[in-house]
Structure 1
């Protein structure tokens, strides 16, 4: 049986990755501080390891106790984290760092690994709280972590980076897609900025999990791999997918920047909206044998999970009273 250590692994992408690994006959150890609960508490072939990934001694103890073949790092937020981890796990068969499409400094259409420039980063920012610096430092930090992966590979470590675009699916604590699902389930008419054609490339979480496994097993040291749905879709099309999965109908009401501003709304307040196309090439990952899930299946699972949860996206979307006023003004 193949042994994996997931640094993180109990919330969203990590949770699905553990399930993916178990489905492929892995034994998994999840390494975390235990603050987010443990969905695998009673699961065979999953061991919970308590520790702080910022403490080298804790990582070394996890390595020595579990001797993992593959290491998946979900929570490395500054390059020092990655530098330490690639040293501690240098002798493992593969170390896979979970990066982000936000590493890219330019919005090429599509963004390509090894071609589209990455953000620059000032290491003097390492001490800033990662959770207090989004979005200003998130992308640059992820890019710096990618460079740490590349440096480790140059030193002989089988280290790779995986760059998901915006991830959606069951157990998504960010609630970005939940905002739209809740609107479709509750309302006949849904306000959308622009013409509804916004293209913000997304990645179904189950596909991110399978990508991580395949990159660990087949990836090239020092490479980065984008992850995103093979066929992207507009925001309007996404709402249609949600409605179909929920067996309902939705009227998409579009609003220009001027129409939104009349009600103190801004397009940037709407989750999953981008004024320019944000797309990522996935050919390198597909060459490893990866493919994405049919959107019908992906949205069905996502809507079902939303209905079973208490998430409503109310904390991540625009002001509901202003949105209702804009819908009233735009008429039937």
Structure 2
């Protein structure tokens, strides 16, 4: 008998890839969402869509009765109350998996390990907030809700991705760098280009969610990220290889950037302190990450056909040209 998976969300970035992963693995798949975003599976009769608001407990219970899921993947739980409600509604399913975040970790250490690196605290005010400044706090409190539910017998688990990239990424963070590499012969990177911000290919997150649902231990969180970690400079080189183009990476110190009125933090995916997650626990379940060159090739290919250019992250090419001019005189 075929197992049924219910994806809360399912139409955008991680959710979209998760639905595809589950279909490939042979699940019958249903999604519950409000329909605020385009449905990429609208013409796929293998996917059932149930209209509902994940904030509404009645809607979740109706979806459960309609779908009768064996596993539930929760892609859009952004406040701890969302997790508390979901683990109550789906308390008797074979597995409930919550998408947490590497931002749930409280301290800067290399690497960050599940069950060892402390999680962020979360006040009552933060728990009901929706701003970016409290994102990690709320995700950490969601993790604790998963742990509490597991103590009560719910087969609940969490997956903590680091920063995500891949096809259909509406954040456009990597799109900025892909556009730069494809558009210019010389691209400015802040610092020495060696800053490290661990990333996770979106299809690998989708496979991690499925594998954790099938093989994970209740009350456990699993980090997910590329098994080969790239510096920012190496990332641009991987993009250039995937795009079949040449690109000179120009490293710029804080002083050089200042000539263009810029600072390192103006560049997306720059992080002063390394962010690295230990992914051994997930690998022990049999999970593997996609080779980076393959993942980047798929990402760049989809970018070519998309209308995304990462413009909201653009520090200004004119400013960069001033920095390049300074570098040429040194």
When normalised by structure 1's length, the TM-score is 0.97
Equivalenced residue count is 328
Asked if structure 1 preserves the Cα contact closer than 8 Å seen for 2:194 and 2:231, the reply is yes
| Residue 119 of structure 1 pairs with residue 123 of structure 2 | no
| Superposition map of 1:48-59 within 5 A | 48-59=49-60
CA distance in 2 between partners of 1:322 and 1:245 (Å): 27
Deviations 1:84-134 (A, max 9, x none): 000000010000000000000112100000000100000223333x1xx11
Q: Secondary structure at the match of 2:113?
A: coil
Shift of residue 2, structure 1, vs aligned partner? 1.1
CA distance in 1 between partners of 2:289 and 2:300 (Å): 18
Shift of residue 271, structure 1, vs aligned partner? 1.3
Shift of residue 273, structure 1, vs aligned partner? 1.0
CA distance in 2 between partners of 1:319 and 1:151 (Å): 47
Q: Secondary structure at the match of 2:28?
A: strand
Asked if structure 1 preserves the Cα contact closer than 8 Å seen for 2:32 and 2:50, the reply is yes
Question: Match for residue 175 of structure 1?
Answer: 172
| Residue 227 of structure 1 pairs with residue 228 of structure 2 | no
CA distance in 2 between partners of 1:126 and 1:109 (Å): 27
Q: Which runs of 5+ in 2 are unaligned?
A: none
| Residue 268 of structure 1 pairs with residue 265 of structure 2 | yes
CA distance in 1 between partners of 2:114 and 2:164 (Å): 18
Question: Match for residue 134 of structure 2?
Answer: 137
Question: Match for residue 292 of structure 2?
Answer: 295
Runs of 4+ in structure 1 displaced over 6 angstroms? Answer: none
Question: Match for residue 74 of structure 2?
Answer: 73
| Superposition map of 1:100-111 within 5 A | 100-111=101-112
Deviations 1:149-201 (A, max 9, x none): 10000111000000000010000000000000000000000000001111100
Q: Secondary structure at the match of 1:137?
A: helix
Shift of residue 67, structure 1, vs aligned partner? 0.4
CA distance in 1 between partners of 2:13 and 2:273 (Å): 27
Asked if structure 1 preserves the Cα contact closer than 8 Å seen for 2:127 and 2:141, the reply is no
| Residue 250 of structure 1 pairs with residue 247 of structure 2 | yes
Q: Which runs of 5+ in 1 are unaligned?
A: none
CA distance in 2 between partners of 1:6 and 1:15 (Å): 9
**RMSD, aligned CA:** 1.0
Question: Match for residue 28 of structure 1?
Answer: 29
| Residue 5 of structure 1 pairs with residue 2 of structure 2 | no
Q: Secondary structure at the match of 1:252?
A: strand
Question: Match for residue 46 of structure 2?
Answer: 45
